[in-house]
Structure 1
Amino acid sequence: MRKTLLPYPLGDIVFAGTVSDGSIIMRSVSQQRPYQQVGIKIRQLILETPYRSGQRLPPEREIADMLDVSRTVVREALIMLEIEGLIEVRRGAGIYVVEHKNPLRIEEVNTHFCNDAGPFEQLQARQLLESNIAEFAALQATREDIVKMRQALLLEERELASCSLENSESGDMHFHLAIAEATHNSMLVELFRQSWQWRENNPMWIQLHSHLGDTLYRKAWLIDHRQILAALIKKDARAAKLAMWQHLENVKQRLLEFSNVDDLDFDGYLFDSWPLAKTDG
């Protein structure tokens, strides 16, 4: 089925083009993740439409409506294009085309991103995995495990006090790792390590995280960690699970706020998110 995008005045640039299910565009992205497919479509429209460096792209809401996808998928697509050097995201100001001499070809995009999940998809997976890890750890943790968690929090506090973003997440990682190790289940520990390694190596996560230039979010997450630890010390499995779930819900919310460039009140998600109340019972 063919979908024709007629000339459409979007922001400062008029997008025009045709996307067909049988075209080379669709063949090249059919096995890719939604944000990659959308990123390729946006990229193709930009490259095929006359523009000048510094021109503003349409708001993400209009792009989402035009391509019939969620706005969070559009956000992840824009992060991909920012990594490529095709656009610049200015928080509160919009999305702008930048001068680029050697953009990636469409057929190179799949190799460049290795079909990695987007950052919000990964956070949802962590939420499901780590909330259950915390629940189990509450029942299994020893005194030595609790000591390791406390040491990780002390490291996190020192990193926060130093006000340095360099190596600022060692305490964060060690705290979550200590909880996984407190399950005394090597498979769960390995699953956690793999998810964290993805986080450290994924260019989209790195790009999104680069926009977090202050320590406010780290202070909020440290408070979350203390609440998780309090539940683990009490061996309250239900409270530990809910505290971890809510912590990662808070992380998603904060990253969405920082990634959004044209609507500071938008709180939509790529996947449905369940607040604390929905996990109760």
Structure 2
Amino acid sequence: MTIAPGKRRYQDVAEDLRRAIAEGGYRVGDRLWTERQIAADMDVSRSIVREAVIMLEIEGLVAVRKGSGIYLARLPDVGGGRTQADIGPFELLQARQILESSIAAFAATMVTKGDILRMREALDMERRAIERNDDDYSGDELFHRLIAESSQNGVLVDMLDELWRKRKRSPMWARLHERIFDSGYRTRWLDDHQTILAALQCRNPAQARDAMWRHLENVRHTLLELSDVDDPQFDGYLFHTDPVAVGTG
């Protein structure tokens, strides 16, 4: 698949899906292809397909049913408008992974005792929110920001803040989280944070970089797994119809 200049990969996948729906004679309510089929037919990653489907879901073109699949909610408008470009959640995570792993490595050379104490307090905030089953991620965000602050570099802090602002403003990120009901992942992420903190406390740049990289990789895998509408653990086994191949690869 050729990516048009200035467009993101998931936008191209979404456009191919619109075209396939328009040309495929589908009716409202029809079940469409699984994400695995789309990824295989278009030779792209599942995360890009997930972003494309979320985009079409926000447009109201498809409806996603957990454990059941993707359904056509309305027919596409030929030549109609498109949702304003957003940043896909997995694209955003990739940017964070690249930036924050480097920040963590540098912070390990600059961190102070006061920084470590503040990070411990942030993890306590995160732990209390998990124990209360509170949908409060402020401790999580604060921990990541404190790492950037401990680098003593204001530009790095500004760059991190901008990524978090993009996440908070992103309708695609919000829609992804709407599909997730199992909150057990938060404890695993807290364990990751403790590993990062230990590396910083040892002032070990390589361990800090690796720990942050693994943490955000774990976040990516967790979000893919928990938002998987084709997950056979749900009621997908009730639907045995074999959807027609996408045919837009």
Task: Give the conservation status (yes or no) of the 8 Å contact 1:137–1:232.
Answer: yes
Distance 1:30 1:184, change over 3 A: closer
> Normalized against structure 2, the TM-score is what?
0.84
Q: Give the Cα–Cα distance (whole angstroms) in 1 for the partners of residues 141 and 202 of structure 2.
A: 22
Per-residue deviation, 1:212? 1.9
Q: Give the Cα–Cα distance (whole angstroms) in 2 for the partners of residues 180 and 264 of structure 1.
A: 40
Which residue number corresponds to residue 17 of structure 2? Answer: 42
Match of 1:72 among 25, 38, 47: 47
Output the aligned Cα RMSD: 2.5
The residue type equivalent to 1:258 in the other structure is: L
Matched, 1:252 2:220: yes
> Normalized against structure 1, the TM-score is what?
0.75
Q: Give the Cα–Cα distance (whole angstroms) in 1 for the partners of residues 40 and 24 of structure 2.
A: 19
Q: Give the Cα–Cα distance (whole angstroms) in 1 for the partners of residues 30 and 212 of structure 2.
A: 42
Q: Give the Cα–Cα distance (whole angstroms) in 2 for the partners of residues 68 and 172 of structure 1.
A: 34
State the structure with bigger RCO (CA 8 A, min sep 6), 1 or 2.
2
Matched, 1:234 2:202: yes
Which residue number corresponds to residue 150 of structure 2? Answer: 182
Distance 1:48 1:75, change over 3 A: same
Which residue number corresponds to residue 85 of structure 1? Answer: 60
The residue type equivalent to 2:181 in the other structure is: G
Distance 1:104 1:159, change over 3 A: farther
**SS class of match (1:96):** strand
Which residue number corresponds to residue 192 of structure 1? Answer: 160
Match of 2:8 among 33, 39, 46: 33
Query: Deviations 1:167-206 (Å, cap 9, x if unpaired)?
Result: x111110000000000010010011001111111111111
Task: Give the conservation status (yes or no) of the 8 Å contact 1:90–1:261.
Answer: yes
Per-residue deviation, 1:163? 0.8
Match of 1:142 among 112, 116, 123: 112
Per-residue deviation, 1:123? 1.1
Per-residue deviation, 1:77? 0.7
Which residue number corresponds to residue 81 of structure 2? Answer: 108
Q: Give the Cα–Cα distance (whole angstroms) in 1 for the partners of residues 119 and 193 of structure 2.
A: 9
The residue type equivalent to 2:35 in the other structure is: E
Per-residue deviation, 1:233? 1.3
Q: Would you tell me which structure has more strand in proportion to its own residues?
A: 1
Task: Give the conservation status (yes or no) of the 8 Å contact 1:134–1:241.
Answer: yes
Q: Give the Cα–Cα distance (whole angstroms) in 2 for the partners of residues 213 and 191 of structure 1.
A: 30
Q: Structure 2 unaligned runs (5+)?
A: 234-249
Which residue number corresponds to residue 125 of structure 1? Answer: 95
Per-residue deviation, 1:264? 6.5
Q: Structure 1 unaligned runs (5+)?
A: 4-20, 266-281
